[in-house]
Amino acid sequence: MRKFLIIADDSPEFQAALTYACGRAKATQGVVTLLRVLPETDYTQWAGVRDEIEREQRAEAESLLSKLADIAAVKSGHPAEIIIKIGAVRDAIKALISEDRGLKILVLASASGRDPGPLISSLMRDGVASLGGGRPIPITIVPGDLDEAAILDLV
């Protein structure tokens, strides 16, 4: 089954990526995969504090992804897959693409204005192959300032 990977971040344009991925998944009998990447904590001398911070971050991520997965299931017609990784976003995407051969398309939404956002800028600078994890994966970039009707019209 074809999987559409989206990065569940806190950007305002995330909803555009979610809407597009759900629409494509519905049209192709695919599945939406939601990836939330948590930052690494660096409290090595205070392991108890680090562990508590990581537990709280993970609980928040699980709660958010659960809500987003419910939305994705309704919009796409299939249960969504949720994944939480710790580290840098690019590294997490690369590892996931390498691990899961079912991932077929990465869906990102661009920020409004002149700067499309850090991840898209990085991919444009370094090339899509820099993500690959040993295999090519196409990337769909959705304009983040489109409304839901316009996005669904593109699907």
For residue 102, the one-letter residue type is G
Give the H/E segment covering residue 36: strand 31-38
Q: How far apart are CA 103 and CA 4, in angstroms?
A: 6
Summarize pLDDT for 100-130 with one digit per residue, the tens: 999 999 999 998 777 788 788 877 777 666 6
Summarize pLDDT for 43-101 with one digit per residue, the tens: 666 777 878 888 999 999 999 999 999 999 999 999 999 999 999 998 899 899 889 99
- Domains in the chain: ranges and CATH: 3-98+109-154 (3.40.50.620)
Distance of CA 138 to the CA centre of its chain: 14
Residue 49: per-residue pLDDT: 80
Contacts of 71 (CB under 8 A, 6+ apart): 18, 22
- Say what the pTM is: 0.89
Residue 135's φ and ψ, nearest 5 degrees, are -150, 150
Q: 110 has which bridge partners?
A: 143
